[in-house]
Amino acid sequence: MNKRSLILVGVGFLLILLTPLVLRKRTVPLISQGRIVGVAKRPFGLPWGDVGVYVQRSKVFSLWGGDLDDGPLLIYPFRNEERFLCVYDYDVEAFAFVVDLSPSHTNTSKRAIWPSDDFNRAAFARWATNVVLETRGVVRLPDLLELQEVFNDLAKLNQAQLDIMSFPGNDLGFCRFYVPKETLLSNLRTNRQF
């Protein structure tokens, strides 16, 4: 091989290595009632960088971005745009939690709790506080009414619509793998079994 061929092979190899970092999906629109109410942004090039959530150009909370295999899958704004349900792949399990920015912090003490067993509820609550890095609100588990609302809204979407408002489960830059709609919805079932 001549020098020019070696350089071209080296440049090609470098491009292949950098593609997952450079071409990965960096922004995801936060869609409520068919309109964009905010955006979730990953930093350029870093698979482990924080995911900032912005509403009206103001950062309202951020999540640990994970690495190549885990991280946020979906951030869903509720109709009041003060609560956000997050579905997060936490390496061993995908789970849901709510970032509540409302001034009164929605009172869920009288609502039906989720998940129904104490062990998973404690684990999910601990994991949620581990992955939310900063917020102006409260991090908590969703109640059954919130899960049902999100489940019903997402069930109406097709896979392509869901992919637009989701982070890929694996993002190689040139090829993205999204969590199938059925899998995502199974994480939001009110009667979810573990």
Domain count, the chain: 1
Residue 123 lies in a domain: yes
Beta strands in 109-181 (DSSP E): 132-135, 138-140, 170-171, 176-177
**C-alpha distances in angstroms, 52 versus 26, 60, 65, 133, 137?**
10, 8, 9, 10, 14
Residue 194 lies in a domain: no
Predicted model pTM: 0.85
Tell me if residue 28 falls in helix, strand or coil.
Answer: strand
Residue 166 lies in a domain: yes
> 160 is in which domain, residue-wise?
3-186
Residue 191 lies in a domain: no
Full pLDDT tens readout for the chain, 194 residues: 788 888 888 888 887 777 666 677 888 999 988 899 999 998 776 656 789 999 988 999 999 887 666 889 999 999 888 999 999 998 778 899 999 998 775 555 556 678 888 888 888 889 999 999 999 899 999 999 999 999 999 999 999 999 999 988 877 777 888 999 999 999 888 776 65
Among 178, 134, 161, residue whose Cα is nearest residue 25: 178
Contact, 30 vs 77, CB < 8 A? yes
